[in-house]
Amino acid sequence: MKHQLMELPFNLQALEPYISKETLQYHHGKHHATYVNNLNNLIENTKYEAMSLEEIIKTSKGGIFNNAAQVYNHNVYFQGMCSKNTEPSEELRKKIEEEFGSMDAFKQAFLNAAVTLFGSGWVWLSVTPLGSLIIEQMSNANNPLLGKNTPLMTCDVWEHAYYIGYRNARATYLENWWELINWNFVSANYKNV
């Protein structure tokens, strides 16, 4: 099965001024596209060729894993943003408030995890098998599919996600990224757990 580069669910200018058209051209059009192309080349004529992205992530190692996971991670990242102002579902909001105390406390905990993640990686909001919400810091291409948790949303803290617009100001990027969260996507993921 050939894996395809996802189409962005918004146009290239939609996230401005927070994330620029130029950033998306590089991040989606070059970085994300390269992971898809590398994955397709690596799995050709192997047992992974017939697998879904999730199956590849759970069963592979090395270059195949890295490229498959980066395709998946970027898919969740880009689907998790939009230009409209959205709100969590009532069900998700109640769960966040129950687990973190308030939406503001959750925001601070999530952004702190993203600011303090050393090097490159991803920060995830996930659901544990017991139904608790958890914020997970993951280095490099790692994601919650490697364990038993179910991912709801992610933020990319690799420098290529923000360097064009923010240089090394990761905290500013994160504050602005928060304004773009597509809570409809996150809420739908939570409903499907």
pTM of model > 0.95: yes
On whether both 64 and 147 belong to a single domain, the answer is no
Q: Pick from 55, 79, 103: which residue ends a domain? A: 79
Residue 3 lies in a domain: no
What domain range is 142 assigned to? 90-191
Q: If DSSP codes are grouped into helix, strand and coil, which group holds residue 141?
A: coil
Residues 44 and 108 in one domain: no
Number of domains in the chain: 2
pLDDT digits (tens, 9 = 90+) for 19-44: 999 999 999 999 999 999 999 999 99
The whole-angstrom separation of Cα 59 and Cα 64 is 10
Strand partners, 153: 125
Whether 124 shows a pLDDT value over 90: the answer reads yes
DSSP 16: T
pLDDT at residue 1 above 90?
Answer: no
Predicted confidence (pLDDT) at residue 63 exceeds the cutoff of 90: yes
